Structure 1
Amino acid sequence: MSMSEAPHAAEIGARLREIVAAHARLDGPLLPILHAVQAEWGHVPRSAIAPLADALNLTTAEVHGVVSFYHDFRDAPAGRHLLKVCRAEACQARGGRGIEDSARDRLGIEFGETTPDGAVTLEPVYCLGLCACGPAAMLDGTLHARLDSDRLDALLAECGA
């Protein structure tokens, strides 16, 4: 199954039970389980919410609330590349708004969206820890500091955007 296809409840059942069992002894296992689920399928499938709630003796509302509260959890698969642009104050003061605009214009999408070809998902992040070197972004887990439109274009060109 490709990551762009949403798994159905029957398809995730056995693997989900393995993930829950591997984390069941932890205090507060929901977050580690959700991270493992997202690592497995590229997102937290809606079809996993009810079985997780049952396994952890939680309500579906509680599980959904955690998934929707934390920005790192997605309810749909991300693109092949993930670009996170820092929107914190330090990066904004160093020209971050221009990087945001360039990214949205170049990709033709807004934050939280994926390009139609599935190449890039654009997400906001509120501090990458490069405050003195902003504006900053993270592409596929690699930090990039002192960005300008030309450097951003070069990064996006490398990933086929």
Structure 2
Amino acid sequence: MTGTGNINPKVQAIIASLKDKPGALLPILHGIQDELGYIPPETLPAIADALNLSRAEVHGCISFYHYFRDTPPGKHTIHLCRAESCQAMGSKALEAHVKSRLGIDYHETTKDGAFSLEPVYCLGLCACSPSMQIDEAVYGRVSLESFDAAIKEAEAMA
């Protein structure tokens, strides 16, 4: 494998352990993101070389799937539901409030590194729409006020 000189040894191990599996690209990307929280751009050449793909093909896969990140996540990740049930129950106003309150858009992290905002297309709480998830905690019937309270609680856990 070429181009691995400055790559994290854990990333090298993930690539080496999965590269010979059928359809190895997605398992490798998941493995790296599970280990580091994101897929550093400098890992693309090593992934591409190991799988005999172009860097553009690897980048295309990362950019196609919303789950993958190419920047470090914030300390807390907020997943805001964008599914139809949540939209019908006011998630557009909640989305505008969240983005304004945090000063970021989807797939971004606040300047202080505290929060990342990610869209999700169903949390399975349709009867309690709109919903969101902050780290492992799931919230239903989220209002602007309950969002603000949840953020304050997450900040206090720092």
| Shared fold per TM-score greater than 0.5 | yes
Instruction: Give the structure 1 partner of residue 121 of structure 2.
Output: 126
Instruction: Tell whether 2:18 aligns with 1:49.
Output: no
- Matching of residues 56-135 of structure 1 within 5 Å: 56-135=51-130
C-alpha separation in 2, matches of 1:107 and 1:136: 17
1:21–1:157 Cα change, 3 Å: same
Alignment TM-score, normalising by the size of structure 2: 0.89
Q: CA RMSD in A?
A: 1.7
**1:144 and 2:131 matched:** no
| Letter in structure 1 aligned against 2:117 | L
**Unaligned stretches of 5+ residues in structure 1:** 1-8
Once the two structures are TM-superposed, the CA of residue 124 in structure 1 deviates from its matched residue by 1.5
Give 2:24's aligned residue. Answer: 29
- Kindly tell me the number of residue pairs found equivalent between the two proteins: 153
Residue 46 of structure 1: CA displacement? 0.9
Letter in 2 for 1:45: P
Mapped contact 1:119–1:159 kept (Cα < 8 A): no
The range that moved more, 96-105 or 78-87, is 96-105
Seen in structure 2, the aligned counterparts of structure 1 residues 102 and 57 have a Cα distance that, compared at 3 Å, is same
Displacement over 3 Å in runs of 4+: none
Provide the rounded CA distance (Å) in 2 between the counterparts of 1:44 and 1:139.
21
What is the Cα deviation at residue 62 of structure 1?
1.1
What letter corresponds to residue 104 of structure 2 in structure 1?
Answer: I
- 5+ long unaligned stretches in structure 2: none
Q: 1:112 to 1:44 in 2, by over 3 A?
A: same
1:58 maps to amino acid: L
Contact 1:49 1:63 in 2 (8 A): yes
Once the 2 structures are TM-superposed, how far is the Cα of residue 19 of structure 1 from its aligned partner? Answer: 0.4
